[in-house]
């Protein structure tokens, strides 16, 4: 049985992007010291871009690896969920709807402006796929044609510095 793409995306976002809290140290302590409640973990320095969370959710066979074919299938399914009338293209408002549903925010990257390569104010599945191909190539650090979770994470060295 194949897991639902939306459920997998929600689970991945919950695990990867869990918020953390920090409080300033009490007066008299070093200015850069951070006091945390005992029940709170330290601030996370490992993050995932919304687009990487989407890609991780495209893992069709559950092997914790995403191939270009799995990504292409995920992009097609996600696009079809917004292009309900079957026109084969969506406008920028529908793209924002797609972004909110599949990336978690209407303003998450990729933007419609960088995705709409022919500047016709419409986004086709081919344009969206081309944008994801660029992202896949950027994330595939070992250039083996497959993305693993470690390739989809980024270090956020500034997080937790106050």
Strand partners, 90: 123
What is the pLDDT at residue 112?
95
**What pLDDT does residue 21 have?**
44
Question: Taking the chain (162 residues) in consecutive chunks of 10 residues, what is each chunk's mean pLDDT?
Answer: 54 48 50 63 79 96 97 97 95 96 94 95 97 96 96 72 50
pTM: 0.70
**How far apart are alpha carbons 28 and 32 in whole angstroms?**
11
pLDDT at residue number 66: 98
Q: Using CA atoms, how far apart are residues 135 and 141, in angstroms rounded to an integer?
A: 11
pLDDT of residue 27: 57
Which conformational region is residue 43 in: left (phi greater than 0), alpha (psi within -120 to 50 degrees), or beta? beta
Q: What is the pLDDT of residue 108?
A: 93
Token pair belonging to 136 = 């896949």
In the chain, at which residue ranges do the beta strands (DSSP E only) sit? 23-24, 34-35, 46-48, 65-67, 90-91, 122-123, 146-148, 153-155
The domains located in the chain, with CATH, are 5-18+42-155 (1.10.238)
Whole-number Å distance between alpha carbons of 84 and 144:
35
């Amino acid at each position: 049985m194949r897991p639902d793409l939306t459920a997998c995306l929600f689970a991945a976002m919950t695990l990867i992007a869990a918020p953390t809290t920090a409080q300033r140290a009490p007066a008299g302590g070093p200015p850069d010291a951070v006091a945390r409640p005992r029940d709170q973990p330290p601030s996370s320095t490992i993050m995932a871009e919304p687009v990487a969370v989407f890609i991780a959710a495209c893992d069709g066979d559950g092997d914790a690896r995403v191939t270009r074919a799995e990504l292409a299938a995920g992009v097609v399914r996600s696009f079809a969920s917004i292009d309900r009338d079957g026109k084969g293209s969506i406008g920028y408002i529908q793209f924002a709807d797609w972004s909110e549903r599949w990336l978690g925010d209407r303003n998450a990257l990729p933007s419609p402006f960088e995705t709409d390569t022919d500047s016709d104010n419409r986004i086709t599945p081919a344009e969206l796929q081309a944008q994801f191909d660029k992202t896949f190539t950027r994330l595939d650090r070992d250039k083996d044609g497959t993305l693993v979770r470690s390739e989809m994470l980024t270090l956020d060295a500034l997080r937790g510095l106050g």
